[in-house]
């Protein structure tokens, strides 16, 4: 297309003009329709007029460079400036490049950019052509949606904006999602890359299709629709990739809970929290491995096999040796000790959400006795257990109904908080879910008692002045490793430096927590899992029962033999369908009557705002420590059971009380190079407070030891490089 020789000759040079106090519109200025204006190139004397319009956006259409004074004006007044390089035509209204015109019109019709001004050099040919095409687009859209003419052109813009003008933005979002999924799915093509953490992976095309449907559904609603408001409130989870723990129901997809008893079962419903996340634009990629029905602390009791830690023993020791060369950290593990271990030995990822911790980024899982927080500590990620009843349990396959709580694993506290805010909604399908009145009452209670005990905003320096943090003396047990003790003491000092008051407290009933938990949980599990009998639900053994298992004799009466045969088939089906750890807990729980159990969850005034305690007694132990629980070696089995259950001692108390607690990584053990996590625990219903303090503590820890942060940048990237 032809162009004129010098576009700048038509502009007003600001150096030739004095400052003007008058409000003067630009050359050829006019309103196309409410919120959309056109003109020639503005001069300095026109700037006051443009400010009076309250412009949000300016589009400059020309193939020549814009004068600096104009771009500076836009920048100084927070006006978005966009330059589309479009050639000038000698013939008025001659067709311009379609691609450029389409982009310009799309931006003009997006009401989020209004008021908007489009201008060229003189405001005649290029803006005239754009104005013509704009009217054509609106008329075409209006006719295709509705035979009736809208009341005015502004309503046509709104209607058009909810469909056509967002297509370009949505395509950009989808393209970005596809790139993210390509990276994840390419990595997972190698079975070793997942460490047996994923038990069901959705088709990538289906994930993209679901996200596209979400965008289309949202954009077809009007601006005043509640779904549009919901989108604005939950934009923080839109486009995030999530994995769901295997005991959450997802409609039309396998829900096995890591048990042979549920192989082949596809759920007819989705869990409420899954629906909430999907309706907010989160991408559910699949399901992760777990201890069978959530019973365990190691993710070794799964019909799919154990989930391994993403680090081997050798990885941790290499980091320790690297540390010895560059940093003076005192006495650490000797070479003789390092040489005596199996360097290629696999480590435990924790449980029962070990699969979730390995693939975190962020993930959604359940928490009964600490099954989110313990793997979070061992894998160096954030694990949050909300107050009991904050999130709906509908669609979660039950283990212990009075203890089961939705939990979240995330790469940071901010990510975890965003997911929690999306899920923490009342659900009438779960009778234990807190109603809105209770939520409002709790919010008023903590707001009224907060006073000066408020955490600084995200834009301020982390400040915990007025916050009292308790250090329970009962948590100093002999099983605590030296690294965990040092990390606990160091983090306490960090909190003091941030302005918090750290005090010693006594919780005398803590010693009863573990025995109480393993009384209540197995008893409720015994009842909940009775349904998996092969008759109503679950795996059914159809082959002939071996003679040694049948227990019948030829002298038995026919009716007695039939009854014995039925009971034997029932028992044999459960023996074959349920794993050894589940059977152990069912047998333990059968002897316990849990009907009289009563737990008071009413928040009361206490001496401290938060508790700081370890998440686990040690760093991630070798996987072999959890493989000795076989029936042939009774001594090893007993040692294993004791070792396995004691791992819950730090997390169980807050689960029994239904309190919100969060585990965050606080450093790395200088003994084995594996991450260490600590918990913050608050009062029932005070979830926001524990998240806010955790966020500030996370920031303070990551700002420490900058030399080590640079030295070990790619090693455990989510963990502060503070060695204990």
C-alpha atoms less than 13 angstroms from C-alpha of 111 in its C-beta half-sphere: 17
Angle at 290 between CA 419 and CA 613, to 5 degrees: 65
Record the tokens describing residue 113, joined without a space: 């950019």
Could you tell me if 715 and 319 are in contact, meaning their C-beta atoms sit under 8 angstroms apart? yes
Could you tell me if 43 and 65 are in contact, meaning their C-beta atoms sit under 8 angstroms apart? no
Q: Residue 643 phi/psi, 5° resolution?
A: -65, -40
Residue 724: CB atoms within 10 Å: 21
CA-nearest of 720, 693, 695 to 499 is: 693
DSSP state of 263: T
Could you tell me if 269 and 313 are in contact, meaning their C-beta atoms sit under 8 angstroms apart? no
Could you tell me if 411 and 711 are in contact, meaning their C-beta atoms sit under 8 angstroms apart? no
**Alpha-carbon gap, residue 539 to 5, rounded angstroms:** 82
Catalytic residue among 371, 377, 402, 663: 371
Could you tell me if 272 and 430 are in contact, meaning their C-beta atoms sit under 8 angstroms apart? yes
Buried b (16+ CB within 10 A) or exposed e, 484-493: bebbbebbbe
Termini Cα distance of the chain: 70
Q: What H or E segment, with its residue span, contains residue 185?
A: helix 167-188
**Alpha-carbon gap, residue 316 to 676, rounded angstroms:** 12
Residue 556: CB atoms within 10 Å: 14
The DSSP result for 432-477, as a single string, is TSPPHHHHHHHHHHHHHHHTT--PPPTTSPP--TT-EEEEEGGG--
352 counts as catalytic: yes
C-alpha atoms less than 13 angstroms from C-alpha of 544 in its C-beta half-sphere: 3
**Alpha-carbon gap, residue 398 to 529, rounded angstroms:** 8
Catalytic residue among 245, 308, 569, 696: 245
Q: Residue 84 phi/psi, 5° resolution?
A: -105, 120
Question: Looking up tokens 């009842």, which residue turns up?
Answer: 527
Catalytic residue among 352, 412, 618, 644: 352
**Residue 84 three-state SS:** strand
Question: Looking up tokens 């008759």, which residue turns up?
Answer: 535
245 counts as catalytic: yes
515 counts as catalytic: no
- Between 204-219 and 272-279, two packed helices, what is the crossing angle to 10 degrees? 70
In this structure, the strands spanning 57-61 and 80-84 are parallel
Q: What is the radius of gyration, based on Cα positions, of the chain? A: 32
Contacts of 564 (CB under 8 A, 6+ apart): 550, 551, 552, 556
Angle at 302 between CA 298 and CA 306, to 5 degrees: 55
In this structure, the strands spanning 30-33 and 80-84 are unpaired
Could you tell me if 456 and 696 are in contact, meaning their C-beta atoms sit under 8 angstroms apart? yes
Beta bridge partners of residue 31, listed in sequence order: 37
**Alpha-carbon gap, residue 691 to 697, rounded angstroms:** 10
Angle at 85 between CA 81 and CA 88, to 5 degrees: 120
Residues assigned a catalytic role: 245, 352, 371
């Amino acid at each position: 297309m032809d162009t004129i020789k010098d576009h700048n000759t038509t502009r007003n040079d600001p150096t030739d003009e004095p400052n003007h106090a008058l409000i003067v519109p630009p050359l050829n200025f006019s309103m196309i329709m409410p919120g959309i204006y056109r003109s020639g190139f503005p001069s300095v004397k026109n700037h006051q007029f443009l400010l009076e319009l309250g412009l949000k956006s300016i589009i400059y259409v020309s193939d020549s460079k814009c004068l600096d004074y104009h771009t500076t004006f836009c920048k100084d007044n927070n006006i978005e400036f966009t330059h589309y390089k479009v050639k000038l035509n000698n013939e008025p209204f001659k067709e311009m490049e379609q691609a450029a015109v389409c982009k310009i019109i799309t931006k003009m019709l997006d009401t989020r950019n209004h008021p908007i001004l489009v201008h060229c050099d003189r405001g005649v040919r290029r803006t005239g052509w754009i104005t013509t095409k704009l009217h054509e687009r609106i008329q075409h859209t209006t006719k295709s949606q509705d035979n009736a003419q809208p009341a005015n052109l502004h309503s046509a813009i709104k209607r058009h904006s909810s469909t056509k003008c967002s297509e370009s933005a949505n395509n950009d979002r989808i393209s970005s999602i596809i790139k993210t999924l390509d990276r994840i799915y390419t990595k997972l093509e190698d079975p070793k890359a997942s460490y047996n953490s994923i038990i069901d992976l959705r088709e990538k095309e289906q994930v993209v299709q679901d996200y596209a449907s979400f965008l289309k559904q949202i954009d077809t609603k009007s601006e005043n629709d509640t779904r549009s408001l919901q989108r604005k409130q939950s934009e923080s989870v839109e486009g995030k990739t999530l994995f769901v723990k295997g005991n959450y129901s997802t409609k039309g997809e396998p829900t096995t809970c890591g048990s042979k008893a549920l192989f082949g079962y596809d759920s007819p419903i989705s869990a409420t929290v899954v629906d909430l996340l999907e309706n907010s634009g989160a991408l559910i990629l699949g399901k992760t491995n777990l201890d069978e029905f959530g019973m365990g602390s190691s993710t070794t009791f799964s019909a799919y096999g154990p989930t391994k830690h993403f680090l081997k023993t050798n990885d941790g020791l290499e980091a320790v040796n690297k540390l010895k060369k560059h940093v003076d950290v005192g006495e650490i593990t000797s070479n003789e000790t390092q040489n005596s271990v199996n360097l290629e030995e696999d480590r435990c990822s924790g449980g029962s959400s070990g699969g979730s911790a390995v693939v975190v980024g962020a993930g959604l899982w359940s928490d009964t006795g600490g099954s989110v927080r313990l793997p979070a500590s061992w894998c160096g990620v954030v694990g949050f257990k909300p107050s009991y009843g904050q999130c709906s349990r509908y669609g979660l396959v039950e283990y212990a109904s009075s203890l089961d709580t939705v939990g979240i694993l995330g790469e940071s506290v901010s990510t975890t908080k965003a997911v929690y805010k999306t899920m923490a909604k009342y659900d009438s399908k779960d009778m234990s879910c807190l109603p809105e009145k209770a939520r409002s009452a709790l919010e008023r209670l903590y707001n009224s008692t907060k006073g000066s005990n408020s955490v600084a905003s995200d834009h301020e320096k982390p400040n915990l002045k007025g916050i009292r943090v308790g250090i329970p003396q009962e948590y100093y047990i002999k099983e605590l490793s030296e690294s965990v003790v040092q990390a606990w003491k160091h983090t306490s000092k960090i909190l003091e430096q941030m302005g918090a008051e750290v005090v010693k407290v006594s919780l005398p009933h803590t010693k009863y927590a573990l025995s109480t938990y393993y009384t209540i949980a197995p008893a409720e599990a015994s009842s909940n899992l009775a349904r998996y009998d092969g008759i109503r639900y679950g795996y059914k053994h159809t082959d002939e029962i071996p003679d040694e298992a049948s227990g019948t004799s030829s002298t038995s009466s026919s009716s007695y033999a039939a009854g014995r045969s039925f009971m034997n088939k029932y028992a044999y089906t459960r023996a074959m369908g349920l794993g050894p750890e589940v059977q152990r807990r069912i047998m333990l729980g059968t002897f316990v009557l849990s009907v009289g159990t009563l737990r008071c969850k009413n928040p009361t005034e206490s001496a401290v705002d938060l508790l700081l305690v370890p998440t686990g007694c040690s760093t991630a132990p070798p996987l072999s420590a959890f493989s000795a629980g076989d029936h042939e070696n009774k001594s090893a089995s007993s040692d294993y059971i004791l070792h396995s259950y004691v791992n819950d001692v730090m997390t169980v108390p807050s689960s029994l009380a239904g309190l919100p607690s969060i585990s965050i990584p606080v450093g790395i053990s200088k003994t084995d190079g594996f991450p260490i996590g600590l918990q913050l625990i608050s009062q029932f219903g005070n979830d926001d407070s524990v998240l806010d303090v955790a966020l500030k503590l996370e920031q303070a820890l990551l700002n420490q030891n900058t030399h080590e942060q640079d030295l070990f940048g790619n090693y455990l990237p989510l963990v502060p490089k503070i060695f204990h």
